[in-house]
Amino acid sequence: MLAEQSLQAMQTVQAHGPYQLAGWSAGGVLAFEMARQLEQQGEAVDLLVLIDSFNPALSGDPAVDMQDQAALLLVLLADLVGCAVDELPLSVHDLRKVAHEQQIDVLLERAQQRQLLPSGWQHNDIQRLLELFRVHYQALYQYTPVSYGGQMILFETTDSLMQRHGQSLIADWQSRTPVPIEVYRIAGNHYTVMRRPSVTLLAQQLQACLERGRTR
């Protein structure tokens, strides 16, 4: 559904290809599905770039129980802050000691004390983000990528979460396309790749890919 909606929005601006698509993390999975649907429509996709995106079909069950609010809150906070869950100033065990209806307030207070979240944020802001995050997280793990026949470019971080679990982003995505994937390694992890200095190198390499695509 999200891919279809994104395609409709994109095609109101550019009705036909060639298209250039890119996405980081889950955004790369979305870009992949959009490219696959465009291919089915007979549209040209000149560039498909996945930035440290994992293949949900090959990564097992969701790492977090959708009904476990404490665990979901910590994953959400880690995404908002841009760090691993175990780097947060609060553990899932801390939150589980608190009544369910108070967990958001405890997390918000602790995060604001450490200046991890804006001081103006309130309970309802986190509640809204949590509901959206739960829907997107569940949709991601229910998605199974199928074959795509076009060229893919993968930017993989040197400290990938998948590598820590003994899995390879390259092998995962290569299983979904007969065309050899073009791979670039970027120093950093899943979050620092979107910050300087890693994001500067990422932008330079992505620009080179775009320029090369225009000359084809």
Please report which residue ranges of the chain form alpha helices under DSSP H.
Answer: 2-13, 26-40, 69-81, 92-96, 103-113, 123-142, 161-164, 169-174, 198-214
Question: Which of 140, 167, 191 is at the close of a domain?
Answer: 140
Tokens representing residue 82 in the block = 């841009």
Residue 210 has a pLDDT of 86
Are 126 and 163 within one domain?
Answer: no
Q: Does residue 189 surpass a pLDDT of 60?
A: yes
Helix (H) and strand (E) counts for the chain? 9, 4
Are 135 and 164 within one domain?
Answer: no
Q: Does residue 114 surpass a pLDDT of 90?
A: yes
Within a domain: 90: yes
Are 88 and 134 within one domain?
Answer: yes
Tokens representing residue 41 in the block = 């429509």
Are 75 and 36 within one domain?
Answer: no
DSSP, collapsed to helix, strand or coil, labels residue 111 as helix
Question: Which of 121, 140, 159 is at the close of a domain?
Answer: 140
Sheet with strand 45-51: strands edge to edge: 19-24, 45-51, 153-159, 182-189
Condensed to tens digits (0 to 9), the pLDDT of residues 70-111 reads 999 999 999 999 888 888 999 999 999 999 999 999 999 999
By residue range, what is the domain housing residue 135? 69-140
Within a domain: 64: no
For 24, list phi and psi in degrees, rounded to 5: -100, 140
The model's confidence at residue 127, banded by pLDDT at 50, 70 and 90, is: very high
Look up the CATH number of the domain holding residue 41: 3.40.50.1820
Condensed to tens digits (0 to 9), the pLDDT of residues 138-154 reads 888 889 899 999 999 99
Question: Which of 98, 122, 140 is at the close of a domain?
Answer: 140
**Of residues 55 and 117, which shows the higher confidence score?**
117
CB atoms closer than 10 angstroms to residue 166: 6
For 20, list phi and psi in degrees, rounded to 5: -125, 120
Are 78 and 111 within one domain?
Answer: yes
- CA proximity to 161, closest of 31, 63, 92: 63
Condensed to tens digits (0 to 9), the pLDDT of residues 40-79 reads 999 999 999 999 998 877 665 566 788 899 999 999 999 9
Condensed to tens digits (0 to 9), the pLDDT of residues 163-173 reads 655 567 888 89
Are 184 and 210 within one domain?
Answer: yes
- CA proximity to 43, closest of 68, 15, 66: 15
Within a domain: 119: yes
Residue 52 has a pLDDT of 93
Are 192 and 85 within one domain?
Answer: no
Q: Does residue 212 surpass a pLDDT of 60?
A: yes
Structural domains counted in the chain: 2
**Average pLDDT along the chain:** 91
